[in-house]
Amino acid sequence: MASAASDQAAGAAEAVAEAAPESGAPAAPAASPPEQGNEAPAPLQPIIIKKIIDEGHGGAHGGAWKIALADMMTAMMAFFLLMWLLGATNADQRKSIAEYFQPTNRPKVDKSGGSTGFFGGMSLIDPKSLPLTLTQTGIAQLTAAGTEEVQSTHEDQALPQGLSQEERKKIAAEQDEKSFESLQDKLEKQIGADQKTSDLLSVVKFVKEKEGLRIDILDDAGFSMFASGTNELSAEAKALIQKVGDSLKKVPNEIAVRGHTDSLQFKNSTNNNWSLSANRADMTRQFLTSIGVDNSRFSRIEGVADSQPVNALNPADPKNRRISITVLYRNGERPTK
């Protein structure tokens, strides 16, 4: 019986071996029976994949602190600039800066409130501006800008509300007094420092009169402003008047120009000293205008011939030939003491 069973098993194995080549599939290896004493293998540990998404640094390491620091540094810089500005300017310049940033919803005054830049323009108490309603609590006298030498000569005076017209005029005239002193001092230094005009300082005279500060430019034996009998300015006279004009541009006051001649008469009856003195005064005005003095600032141009000589004992004295440039008080006259 055992031999019969083994024969059947051998036949089955041969049948399988013959069938495998026909189907093309490899023959499956025969399973080996488990050995005695071996345990089943342990299951593999699961593979865990952790995905980390980098969203940038946050919290104290973020970029927001840079913006905060920039804002703080900007504020500190503005603060220190303000401190420097307060220490580097005088009281009148600070008032001028404040006027520049004032709202513009006020009556418009020509050339006021720094219309030509910081420290430029005319005073709001100018006679031309007085009919308007003023909202300032003080006098905003501004000095024209241009060079580093420009400095305000007016005191910082806050005027109380309800100040009368006469009180305003008095304060304006007192300020003009100080301005005239500064103008004379600077003009003398400028004329003396220039080689072209230093020798002519002796022919320039300053006289304070009721109307204002008069600047006389006189002829002498070695200097003549105009060619004889004409209104043609000499080269030396132009250089001298240039210095005067540069100084006049730094004050807002009106200007009067007057021409004078000596007593010598023209042989030609078609011309006379009256017309000659007037023409010379107007030629001076034209030259001042050409170098930048505003033409609207001239109050009057006149010629008085030989009616107001410097040397009355010698009407033919060359010093009687002169041009007078008067810087007028804004209220029209010298303040009463």
Domain ranges in the chain? 176-328
Q: What is the pLDDT of residue 34?
A: 53
CATH 3.40.250.10 fits 176-328, yes or no: no
Pairing between strand 255-260 and 298-303?
parallel
Question: Quick check: 285 pLDDT over 50?
Answer: yes
First to last CA, the chain: 163
Q: What is the C-alpha separation between 274 and 271, in angstroms, rounded?
A: 8
Q: What is the pLDDT of residue 258?
A: 95
Q: What is the pLDDT of residue 89?
A: 84
Mean pLDDT computed over every residue of the chain: 75
Look-up: residue for tokens 């420009």? 150
306-336, pLDDT tens digit by residue? 999 999 999 889 899 999 999 998 876 665 5
Question: Quick check: 274 pLDDT over 50?
Answer: yes
Q: What is the pLDDT of residue 143?
A: 38
Q: Closest by alpha carbon to 123, among 254, 215, 245?
A: 254
62 band by pLDDT with thresholds 50, 70 and 90: low
Q: Work out the percent of the chain whose per-residue pLDDT is above 70.
A: 65
Tokens of 280: 């010379």
43 band by pLDDT with thresholds 50, 70 and 90: confident
Q: What is the pLDDT of residue 324?
A: 95
- Please tell me the least confidently modeled range out of 8-12, 186-190, 231-235, 280-284: 8-12
When pLDDT is averaged across residues 155-181 and rounded to a whole number, the result is 69
Q: What is the pLDDT of residue 6?
A: 54
Q: pTM for the complete prediction?
A: 0.52
Q: What is the pLDDT of residue 2?
A: 46
Q: What is the C-alpha separation between 175 and 153, in angstroms, rounded?
A: 8
8 Å CB contact between 212 and 253:
yes
State how far the alpha carbon of 143 is from the alpha carbons of 65, 97, 231, 253, 332, in Å: 46, 12, 33, 11, 20
Q: What is the pLDDT of residue 7?
A: 56
Burial level of 274, CB count in 10 A (0-12/13-18/19+)? middle
Q: What is the pLDDT of residue 289?
A: 94
Q: What is the pLDDT of residue 103?
A: 58
Q: What is the pLDDT of residue 94?
A: 80
